[in-house]
Structure 1
Amino acid sequence: MTAIKAVARFLILTFLLLAGLLLAGGPVSAVPIDGRDSPYLALHQNDLVIWHAWNAETLALARREGKPIFLSIGYLACHWCHVMQDEHFRDPETAALINRLFVPVLVDREQQPDVDAFYMAAAANLGLPTGWPLNLFLNGDGTPFFGGVYFPPEPRSGMPSFRQILERVSQTHAQMDSEIRDQGLSLYATLRKANHVPSPVPGLDQTADHLLEQVDSFAGGFGVAPKFPYIPALDLLWRAHLRYGKDRYRDAVIASLSHMIRGGLHDHVGGGFYRYCVDAQWREPHFEKMLDVNAQMLALMTRVWKETRDPVLERTIRTTVRFLLEDLRLENGGFASALDADSRSPRTGRMTEGAYYVWRDQDIRRILGKEGADFLTVYGLENMEAGGVLFTLDDSHRPAALERLREARAKRPPPRRDDKVLFDWNAMAAAALAEAGAAFAEPSWIEAAEQVLALLANKLVTPSGIPAHVLYGGKAAPIAVLDDLAQGALASLTLYEVTGRKSYLTTTRAWLDRARSAHEDTELGGYFASPHDGAPLPVRLKPMLDHPNPSGNALMVEALARLYYLSGDTELRQSADRILETFSGSLDDSLVHAAMVGAADTLAEALQLVLVGKRSAPDMAPLLNRVLRTDLPGRILLVKAPESRLPKGHPARDKPQLEDRATAYVCRGQVCSLPVTTSQELSDVLRDMRRFQTSGK
């Protein structure tokens, strides 16, 4: 009955918002946002809307003025964010209405991901559209009561104009204040309940089978348009293939990667990948090129290449790394967060989505000359006349022609680059580069990864010494969120395994200690996205969904598990166990919980590799290379000197070196393999020990 009443209240609110018009309100004294905090905020500094920052002072201003908040959340690479800006925030009439009736607040979702995550969850629970730009109306306590994504400037397809919505929202806020508060209480109770849903964790094979049911058997990937890569889900399927040896898991991942690489999600000319495609066949991308997407694609492709040695994968890995190092890398060694979807069209002079990337048939023939006809037998365009991106139907390749197109494209007006250094996305890139560098024997890639970690550890730090989420314009702020600390710990652990430098373990411990002190719920288990001293939010959420990056709590399970196996610190294991106990009951949608199931597998079934001998010894190199060039789910790599001892309880604690030769032991649980001293012997043991003893296809 309570749920029915809550739905009824929401329907009444929605009806009133869309039903009438009102002119009301008075002037608001405001301080403009500071464009020095992010390129997205800088882009909006000259809007006619007088934007406020998201903070406690802004909430207090809204309460004092008795006005609702208009909250707009976006990011620099977002095409529809630019459309809203052009149609509304720079329109004199609309901007005047916003300034008069509301306290306007602008948030860069990449700069304040905890604010974005909370209001995305709130909007979803209220049945509102979600995506970016996310435009919500809040009361002075920050409670959302209406909103959406894009609003048209004029009535369209049954939807009222944005100005009509603004006027009606103001009236509804004044008339239904108590109903809005009641709706907020119900919403917050629902969100708090989602922070603790205990029950058994689903098995790896069970989750993988559920994922297979959602795979597009024709074009790869999951579901229908729009198509996102859903990399954590593909990663879990690949893990299941290695664990169970079942062809159907392997085939789903390889087919999905093949379709993405051949299709329009992949930038065939410049390397790297776009964020998603708007069609089911991966032909029409949404043109944002994001650091997080490319870092995850690089990591997954490297994992699969370690098993298949596929030359197409290697080629794509190398062009993706080139994109990262040439197009996104900054002078400080970090990576920019994204390239904008929009750029100035060389034909019209207007900012246009995809203008930098699309080709027409005549463009290609003009640039390539006689080679153009042959090139167009290999590469297709979704729209030959109006323009589209390249795709292929097979693995054919024309590298010389692609390079000529790349040189020609470089003369076009480039898309804007968002030069924020985001802690979590840079950590993801560092881990992916380190793994790829080790797999392909590319020391410069590993060096680039180490430079990123040094930047995160030394420069993304607030004046009080707390890790920061963003570095931009020499300023490190705001305080790091959970994903930052967990991704940083995982990247640092990866670099420890790749380089052997023990300082990375110290860094890992420091970041995990910060996560435990500022984010852990010691009463109910799990970790909050925002620190206890972070941005003001009505409810602190515990991230458990992969949206689309691995959830913060899944990352924490993985990081805590890996450091536990290296250090023997049982408190780390207990903290990881509490996370799984807290959230396992909500793991009912395999597509958005894949990372948590994979992390649970690492915690339960880690593959501990102990190499005994000097890391610098000539006979150690073949063993190290074999480990780092083999895909091993839940890998824990430790190189120990013969005279040193492993942590108490480690299954290889007392295992000796054989005849002064580099010696390898592979352990899972409390069982270790016999010692091996050659690369081929180790290869056989690794493949045997990583796999569960089951059968079936």
Structure 2
Amino acid sequence: MPISKAMKLAGLFIFVICISFQVNADAVFKRPPSLPEREKTQFDQWNKAAKRKNEDKVFSKAEGKYLNALVNSSSPYLRQHAKNPVNWKPWRSKYLEQAKAENKLIFLSIGYSTCHWCHTMAKESFSDAEVAKAVNSSYIAIKIDREELPQIDRYYASLLEAVKGSAGWPITAIINSEGLPIYIDSYLPKDKLINLLTRVDTTWKNNPEFLLATARTISELVAPPETEGGNHADIDTAELLNSSKNKILTALDSEFGGLKGEVKFPQETLLLYLLDELRRSAAPDLEKLLLVQLNNMMNGGIRDHVDGGFHRYSTDKEWIVPHYEKMLYNQALMAQVYLEAWQVLYDEDYQFIATETLDFAIEHLYQAGEGFYSALDADFKGEEGGFYLWAEADIEDALEVEGISYYSFKPADNKSNRKMGVLSKPEYRSPEISKALNKLSQKRHARGDLHRDDKVITSWNGLMIHSLAMASRELNREDYLKIAQSVGDALWVSRFDTKTGKLFRTSDTSQELFSLEDYAYLSRGYVGLYDVTQNPKWLDRAKTIYYSAKAYSSPPQLTKATELGPSASPSLADGELMSPIVILQEVELALKNRTLDPKLFKPSVSILNQIKSRASESTIGHISSLTHLNNGLHGSSGNVRYFANGMGRFSIVCAKKIDNACASLALEFTLNDGWHINSNTPLQDYLKPTIVESSSVLTVEYPEPITQTLGFQREPLSLFAGEFSIVITKKPNEETHKTKVNLPLQACNDEICLLPEKSVVIF
């Protein structure tokens, strides 16, 4: 049947419309101003990449009209800047080489996707055509996601701290092709930035040696390499640990907790150190300072009282007004802190906070089959903390239950009249409280969704694996263990190359991003899974990753971070996370205690001496080193202890609690087949009994011994073997007093007896 004229015209009209849409789609993006000729052909490739990702809101056509090379990035932070007029490039060695070949300086910006001031500078400057022209015409512009390249970030953050006295993000720097800093600062307003770019460019063209001399001066402010130096074997470990504890106690804020200062970070490494010390000795002064911080963080605004989880830091010394971003590593570490605090101090509120924090991370950051995402943004619809703040009417409407009181305050850096609510006298397990908070949560989430950084970072997931595994054991939560094992399996399959030993930091393995941090924290996470499951695959994986890290010494960096200066390589100093070098040493110690692998019996004297030296020179900056030295000298203080190179283990369980104290403790032993320890009543006088030793008066219940004759001894022996428990109970009226017990252990089999060991337990 012939097609009517009207149908032909309608078809032509539809075709024209489609072509028009295609033209508009092709023309929606513009080249960055002052784009070099050789890069104009690349623009077509960027455009095609943007079209492929048209379902990603980052590349919505309504967001902007420019496009640059960051469109190909997997990092949400870099993709946020893909539509800037600034001609950004990712950090790659080829762009450093390009800067050298063209005799250009590099304009470097480091930040992350949930950073408030990074957003501010992006809106004010990086979206501005005038700034873009000043950058693009004279510089190679490089943008770094600090979470992808922690070594690079650490180097420039250390330089910024040396120059300015403190470091924060964004980091704004002008560097040469070798990475030397000619200028470094943090947030800069637009006018100041344009003026800086113009002045530096003029000076570079007329007097480059002056700027290079400045760069050398700045770079020399950073400490020398930590892997070099003299012999520090003369430092006595016990004396160092004692003097360091006194320094730390002096540095703590006795009124509000934490380190003294107007801005407070949780300092999880410090908190874990203090808890470790409390498990080793009764220290009332230390316990008091620890309680102050734990309670103020738990009750203050740094903790989200509605959805759970912790914000990154407090902008005031009282832990009240937070900086609102939420990072995965904070959730993992704070959950561990409060879980251990519950184990040591027996306060049920601490158990609640640990559980709440893990549940928050699972609900808001976990993606089955992938792992945990990195962070939630500080900003919401252009307002810092906007997701978390309330009008007075919101609070009054939601909190209808009588007896529930909220107190409100106005964040110092917020210009609106909205307030933040925090439970003044929290009843954490109250049904009424839960009802009120659920109402607030529903109101909050009706506003929309926070930006979530969907990078799955290997090391941060290693931290979460460790915390979930520990919590699954202590809280009897099979769901936590299931998630921890699922993430552990996913990272093993997707991130670790068993042929090369490379462990990738993110899902984008084409970029070859590596960090010692990933090796250290993932291997430690696998050790934690082994401790709970006793499945040898987790111990084997921990050993494989540990040996891969040792083989690389410093894992390969496509970015050539070590060429940028000593602090670009992994450091013994703690940052927001514990030093990856120290954690790798901890993994080595853990493997040594859990396996008969002879390779693990030769600790590096050089590294140990460096650890002691750095801890002695800068105690507060090397807290994880102190914990490691304590573990090496006195053994682990944890609730799961190994002896006889993994042939024996015991768990510490509080069998009876009175108030916030443990009145009765059970030591639950497991010895491998063929191994035993002497009973508390050996049949031979020359054999050392397994007897609980203490200066306190205690009741000790020992298991029924086994009488057995072994190959090396014709006479029968009285032994403990297999699975058994020793129960230690304080006498009445002594339940709340701290008690120290020593437990001598000597394991034997049918052929040999290993050297005697001793474990110390405080309860």
Output the TM-score relative to the length of structure 2: 0.74
1:292 aligns with 2:329: yes
1:606 aligns with 2:635: yes
User: How many Å separate the matches in 2 of 1:629 and 1:446?
Assistant: 25
Provide the secondary structure at the position in 2 that maps to 1:71. strand
Taking a change above 3 Å as real, the CA distance of residues 532 and 315 of structure 1, as seen in their structure-2 partners, is closer
- Trace 1:350-429 onto structure 2 (pairs within 5 A): 351-368=382-399, 370-371=400-401, 374-375=403-404, 377-382=405-410, 386-397=417-428, 398-429=433-464
Is 237-246 or 142-151 further displaced after alignment? 237-246
Whether the aligned pair in 2 keeps the contact of 1:626 and 1:683 (CA below 8 Å) is no
- Trace 1:288-687 onto structure 2 (pairs within 5 A): 288-344=325-381, 351-368=382-399, 370-371=400-401, 374-375=403-404, 377-382=405-410, 386-397=417-428, 398-461=433-496, 465-472=500-507, 475=509, 477-519=511-553, 528=554, 530-531=555-556, 535-536=560-561, 537-539=563-565, 541-569=569-597, 571-587=599-615, 588-607=617-636, 609-610=641-642, 624=651, 626=653, 639-643=670-674, 659=705, 677-681=724-728
Gaps of 5+ in 1: 1-24, 155-160, 345-350, 520-527, 647-651, 662-672
The equivalent residue for 2:741 is: 688
How big is the shift at 1:281? 1.0
Describe the superposition over 1:412-467 as per-residue Cα deviations: whole angstroms up to 9, x where unpaired: 12211111110110000110111111111111111111111112211113596544
**Aligned residue among 250, 263, 267 for 1:230:** 267
User: How many Å separate the matches in 2 of 1:488 and 1:627?
Assistant: 29
User: How many Å separate the matches in 2 of 1:477 and 1:410?
Assistant: 36
Q: Identity percentage over the alignment?
A: 23
Is 307-316 or 501-510 further displaced after alignment? 307-316
Letter in 2 for 1:422: I
Taking a change above 3 Å as real, the CA distance of residues 653 and 27 of structure 1, as seen in their structure-2 partners, is farther
Whether the aligned pair in 1 keeps the contact of 2:113 and 2:377 (CA below 8 Å) is yes
Taking a change above 3 Å as real, the CA distance of residues 261 and 574 of structure 1, as seen in their structure-2 partners, is same
Taking a change above 3 Å as real, the CA distance of residues 54 and 192 of structure 1, as seen in their structure-2 partners, is same
Provide the secondary structure at the position in 2 that maps to 1:470. coil
The equivalent residue for 1:204 is: 241
Taking a change above 3 Å as real, the CA distance of residues 682 and 46 of structure 1, as seen in their structure-2 partners, is farther
User: How many Å separate the matches in 2 of 1:289 and 1:585?
Assistant: 34
User: How many Å separate the matches in 1 of 2:548 and 2:528?
Assistant: 19
Provide the secondary structure at the position in 2 that maps to 1:37. coil
The equivalent residue for 2:156 is: 119
Provide the secondary structure at the position in 1 that maps to 2:88. coil
Describe the superposition over 1:456-509 as per-residue Cα deviations: whole angstroms up to 9, x where unpaired: 21111359654434334x657534311111111111111111110111111111
Provide the secondary structure at the position in 2 that maps to 1:677. strand
- Aligned residues: CA RMSD: 3.8
Taking a change above 3 Å as real, the CA distance of residues 91 and 186 of structure 1, as seen in their structure-2 partners, is closer
User: How many Å separate the matches in 1 of 2:656 and 2:330?
Assistant: 23
Gaps of 5+ in 2: 1-33, 43-68, 662-666, 678-686, 691-702, 708-718, 732-737, 745-757
The equivalent residue for 1:80 is: 117
The equivalent residue for 1:177 is: 208
Letter in 2 for 1:503: K
User: How many Å separate the matches in 1 of 2:184 and 2:325?
Assistant: 24
Taking a change above 3 Å as real, the CA distance of residues 575 and 99 of structure 1, as seen in their structure-2 partners, is farther
How big is the shift at 1:62? 0.7
The equivalent residue for 2:12 is: none
Describe the superposition over 1:303-325 as per-residue Cα deviations: whole angstroms up to 9, x where unpaired: 11012221211221221111011
Is 547-556 or 560-569 further displaced after alignment? 560-569
Provide the secondary structure at the position in 1 that maps to 2:490. helix
Taking a change above 3 Å as real, the CA distance of residues 81 and 147 of structure 1, as seen in their structure-2 partners, is same
Is 562-571 or 461-470 further displaced after alignment? 461-470
Letter in 2 for 1:365: E
How big is the shift at 1:677? 3.3
Provide the secondary structure at the position in 2 that maps to 1:680. strand
Which is greater in Rg?
2
Provide the secondary structure at the position in 1 that maps to 2:622. helix
How big is the shift at 1:392? 3.4
Whether the aligned pair in 1 keeps the contact of 2:108 and 2:142 (CA below 8 Å) is yes
Provide the secondary structure at the position in 1 that maps to 2:107. strand
The equivalent residue for 1:59 is: 96
User: How many Å separate the matches in 2 of 1:627 and 1:559?
Assistant: 27
Letter in 2 for 1:688: V
Provide the secondary structure at the position in 1 that maps to 2:495. coil
Is 29-38 or 213-222 further displaced after alignment? 29-38
How big is the shift at 1:403? 1.2
Describe the superposition over 1:594-624 as per-residue Cα deviations: whole angstroms up to 9, x where unpaired: 1011011112221484599x99xxxx99x64
Letter in 2 for 1:357: Y
Output the TM-score relative to the length of structure 1: 0.81
How big is the shift at 1:213? 1.2
Is 551-560 or 580-589 further displaced after alignment? 580-589
